[in-house]
């Protein structure tokens, strides 16, 4: 069993694997007008959204196809072995599915530039005894056998083969993916599994009770893959493309979109939020839906939780009050006669936020427009514009949230704020404000995907 997951055996490569195709790879793609990209289904890679495909890898692949001036055709697979075989047979041009860069794999694939680093984590259920190494395991460890990081399986079985029948049981499965195995840990069906750090960061927004025992591997780079049977032309284009999107900030913006707000994890905060989403939010859900305007009602609800923890009588030391923590001038502007009335507060807060959203420069795209508007809700459009000016002065992009958020904290440093139009501001608080709301929003999306309740349309008094 310990040899079965070596790459050569997975795809059945022969001694003729070094023979190049007669056509130059990039020329072939250009002539066909199509870039064929293989991906494995997953929340961090590729999935079919309600309107269009989504995924970190998918968006990068779409950008690469645009860069080449061709159409993107995605070939989604359920297993990494299928991806590898498709590449070996020439059915796809490349694999964009967070494959690990290792010396062993370089003998069979050409790796493009590394664009991210991940590690594999052993996961267990919070409240159980934390294992700090494989020696501490006591129970059942189940790992998905057909993932892009299946080399972990080989490492585990080789290093701990003698213990498999001792204090813990080891099982490989091709019937369940990593998400299902994480759910099984939550539900107590199994004791442990191993997943990559990116996936775990996302899933813990829904299941904060998932804890890390230890890192199974050191941090390693991931990259796209082309076949050794082809020439280097497509790989050369990959190097140019990734160089461009690193330089112009697009790669950092995409990284921030999918992972920037979930890298840090707070178990207590996430647990309390999900409890409130179940017990408190239903009282006000219909009003959030009714008054959301052009935004997702769950984002409005996430804002309200950050502002008041859904407490209609909340009050800050600065005098803002209510579910959406409105100032008196803002309440008057939007005809809110009582800031303590939850319906009025939600309506007024939503109208104010949507007005801020409409005043963000048109050239700023979604989802950055949302994050800019959230920051403006917290510190005002004037201070937000000051932060954008500081961002541009320091050579970064004032239209990308990933750049502006780094400069927001400068608004509380005298040598910077004295050069701005609106002066001092607690920019670090605005940064935390946006980050928290994005995490709460993600959690609500996960929660309502699992707990849809279309009949819940009336507000509970």
Domain with CATH 3.40.190.10 in the chain: 7-115+221-260, 120-217
3-state SS class at 435: helix
Residue among 120, 178, 285, 307 flagged as catalytic: 307
Model pLDDT, residue 128 = 94
Q: Give average pLDDT by consecutive 10-residue segment, the chain, 461 residues.
A: 34 41 70 93 79 87 95 90 88 90 77 90 94 89 75 61 67 86 94 90 87 89 90 92 92 84 75 92 97 95 96 89 95 96 97 97 94 96 97 96 95 93 93 93 85 47 37
> Could you confirm whether 240 is annotated as catalytic?
no
Mapped onto helix, strand or coil, the DSSP state of residue 19 is coil
Q: Rg for the chain (alpha carbons), in Å? A: 25
Say what the pTM is. 0.72
pLDDT at 336: 97
378 within 8 A of 387, measured Cβ to Cβ:
no
Residue of 106, 103, 101, 102 lying closest to 116 (CA atoms)? 101
pLDDT value for 6 = 38
51 Cα distance to chain centroid: 18
Lookup: tokens for 236:
């050369």
Q: Where in the chain is the domain with CATH 1.10.530.10?
A: 267-450
- Strand, coil or helix: what is 226? strand
Q: Extract the tokens encoding 422.
A: 């609106």
d(CA 432, CA 422): 20
Q: Provide the pLDDT for residue 80.
A: 80
The pLDDT value given to residue 452: 58
Instruction: Output the six-digit token pair for 257.
Output: 């979109």
Give the tokens for residue 454.
């279309």
> What was the pLDDT predicted at 58?
93
The fold for domain 120-217 equals D-Maltodextrin-Binding Protein; domain 2 (3.40.190)
Q: Among residues 308, 116, 128, which one has the least CA distance to residue 196?
A: 116
Measure the CA–CA gap between 123 and 131, rounded to whole angstroms.
Answer: 9
DSSP character string of 342-404? HHHHHHHHHHHHHHHHHHS-TTSPTTHHHHHHHHHHHH-HHHHHHHHHHHHHTTS-TT-HHHH
Instruction: Tell me which CATH homologous superfamily contains domain 7-115+221-260.
Output: Periplasmic binding protein-like II (3.40.190.10)
pLDDT given at position 364: 95
CA distance 294 to 292: 6
Residue 98 CA to residue 254 CA, distance in Å, equals 15
What are the backbone dihedrals phi and psi of residue 456, each rounded to the nearest 5 degrees, phi first? -80, 75
CA angle, 449 then 277 then 176, to 5°: 35
Q: Going by C-beta distance under 8 Å and a sequence separation of 6 or more, which residues neighbour residue 279?
A: none
Fold of 267-450: Lysozyme (1.10.530)
């Amino acid at each position: 069993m310990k040899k079965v997951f070596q790459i050569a055996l997975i795809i059945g490569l022969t001694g003729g694997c070094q023979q190049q195709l007669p056509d130059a790879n990039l020329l072939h793609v250009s002539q066909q007008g199509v870039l064929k990209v293989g991906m494995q289904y997953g929340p961090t890679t590729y999935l079919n959204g309600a309107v269009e495909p989504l995924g970190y890898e998918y968006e990068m692949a779409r950008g690469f196809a645009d860069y080449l001036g061709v159409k993107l055709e995605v070939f989604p697979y359920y297993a990494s072995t299928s991806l590898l075989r498709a590449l070996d047979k020439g059915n796809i041009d490349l694999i964009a599915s967070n494959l690990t860069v290792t010396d062993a794999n370089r003998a069979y694939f050409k790796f493009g530039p590394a664009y991210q680093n991940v590690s594999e984590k052993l996961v267990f259920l919070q409240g159980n005894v934390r294992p700090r190494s494989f020696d501490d395991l006591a129970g059942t460890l189940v790992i998905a056998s057909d993932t892009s990081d299946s080399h972990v399986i080989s490492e585990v079985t080789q290093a701990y083969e003698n213990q498999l029948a001792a204090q813990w049981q080891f099982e490989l499965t091709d019937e369940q993916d990593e998400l299902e195995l994480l759910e099984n840990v939550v539900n107590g069906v199994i004791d442990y599994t191993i997943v990559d750090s990116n996936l775990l960061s996302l899933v813990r927004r829904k299941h904060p009770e998932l804890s890390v025992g230890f890192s199974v591997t050191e941090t390693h780079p991931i990259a796209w893959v082309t076949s050794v049977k082809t020439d280097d032309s497509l790989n050369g284009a990959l190097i140019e493309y990734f160089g461009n999107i690193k330089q112009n900030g697009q790669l950092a913006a995409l990284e921030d979109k999918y992972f920037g707000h979930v890298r840090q994890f707070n178990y207590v905060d996430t647990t309390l939020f999900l409890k409130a989403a179940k017990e408190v939010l239903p009282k006000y859900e219909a009003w959030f839906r009714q008054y959301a305007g052009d935004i997702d009602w769950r984002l409005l609800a996430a804002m309200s939780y950050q502002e008041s923890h859904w407490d209609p009588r909340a009050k800050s030391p600065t005098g803002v009050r209510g579910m959406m923590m409105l100032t008196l001038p803002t309440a008057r502007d939007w005809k809110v006669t009582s800031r303590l009335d939850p319906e009025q507060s939600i309506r007024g807060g939503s109208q104010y936020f949507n007005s801020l959203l409409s005043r963000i420069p048109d050239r700023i795209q979604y989802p950055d427009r949302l994050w800019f508007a959230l920051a403006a809700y917290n510190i005002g459009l004037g201070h937000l514009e000051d932060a954008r000016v500081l961002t541009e002065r320091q050579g970064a992009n004032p239209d990308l949230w990933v750049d502006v958020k780094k400069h927001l904290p400068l608004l509380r440093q005298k040598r910077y704020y004295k050069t701005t139009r609106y002066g001092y501001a607690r920019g670090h608080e605005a940064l935390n404000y946006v980050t928290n709301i994005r995490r709460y929003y993600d959690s609500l999306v996960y929660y309502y995907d699992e707990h849809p309740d279309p009949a819940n349309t009336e507000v509970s008094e």
